[in-house]
Amino acid sequence: MPELPEVQTIVSGLSNKIIGKKIVGIIEYRPGTVLFSGDLAGLLPAEISGIGRRGKYIIISTAHSFTLIIHLRMTGRLIYGKGENTFFRHLRARLNLDDGSRLYFDDIRTFGKIIICEPGKQYEPLTKLGPEPLSEGFNAEYLQNKIRSRPAPVKNIMLDQSVVAGLGNIYVSEILFRSGISPLKKASELVPDEIDRIIDATGKILIDAIQHGGTTISDYRNYNNEKGSYQDHLKVYAQQKCVCGVDITRIKQAGRSTFFCNHCQK
DNA sequence: ATTGCTTCCTGAGCGC
DNA sequence: TGCGCTCAGGAAGCAA
């Protein structure tokens, strides 16, 4: 499941591979993968002017033309190379670049999407995202105000992309463990010290995870088809025992697995 | 306004 | 060996 650290790893790796090259073709192998209603041929070729990230979205901009917005959802991969399509078992789309290289969009479960956003238009979901968790905007005052009237469990609230953008199931579990806060605790009942701990743990865990190239539980790969290594540093997600010796508890929240230590998290 | 349920989809793992 | 079942989950869409 690519979350912020995984998406950031892909974006950072791709930037010096694709910027300045021209997109000469966009091929869709599975209908519904590339979302666009217009004349694509009229927009190509288009020179890639930048690649960035907002939440879990990859944003590829072109000079004076359209923007590609890519979401990998759970099993999507965006891999750079020059090989044959047959190398990929679940190829859904491909971008052809002018030097013969390609960006392959491989996705087992097909939930991932590539949205072509025409010049001058904005992609609505991006406007609804909360602040970046590694930005100044994600601070104690912001979070306190945002969750004051939210009685839902803090785990659910942290997964809400309009509260903070880019966190998913793995990192929210890890952040709450590092914060020493139970995922079942009502967000509206968090005291200032707990808010501070969440902000602090969020930054430290995300930066650590980025430095390890993200987490590969099963499907995640970077732009070069390599796994991350942060899975070796997870404290609760998919773990059996806490460092304190107590068995990790596994429950369901908002339809997803939550892992926590009921001794270390209160 | 907020929350929760359903939907999309394939592969892995399990019991028999 | 192979079948059928369950599970994994991000976010949109909808209902309450």
Contact A184, A155 (CB under 8 A): yes
- Out of A5, A6, A53, A56, which one is annotated catalytic? A56
Q: Please confirm, yes or no, whether A146 is among the known catalytic residues.
A: no
Q: Which residue in the block uniquely carries the two structure tokens 């707990």?
A: A194
- Out of A2, A5, A153, A183, which one is annotated catalytic? A2
> Does residue A54 reach within 7 angstroms of strand C, measured from its CB?
no
> Does residue A183 reach within 7 angstroms of strand C, measured from its CB?
no
Say which residues have a Cβ less than 8 Å from residue A26's Cβ, sequence separation at least 6: A34, A40, A44, A93, A94, A95, A96, A114, A116
pLDDT digits over A90-144, tens only?
999 999 999 999 999 999 999 999 999 988 888 999 999 999 999 999 999 999 9
- Residue A171, judged by CB atoms within 10 A of its CB (0-12, 13-18, 19+), counts as buried
Whole-model pTM: value is 0.96
Q: Please confirm, yes or no, whether A2 is among the known catalytic residues.
A: yes
pLDDT digits over A163-208, tens only?
999 999 999 999 999 999 999 999 999 999 999 999 999 999 999 9
> Does residue A111 reach within 7 angstroms of strand C, measured from its CB?
yes
CA-to-C1' span, A170 to C8 (A): 12
Q: What percent of chain A has pLDDT over 90?
A: 92
Q: Please confirm, yes or no, whether A56 is among the known catalytic residues.
A: yes
In this prediction, residues A47-62 reach a mean pLDDT of 97
The pLDDT of residue A85 is above 90 = no
Contact A199, A175 (CB under 8 A): no
The pLDDT of residue A86 is above 90 = no
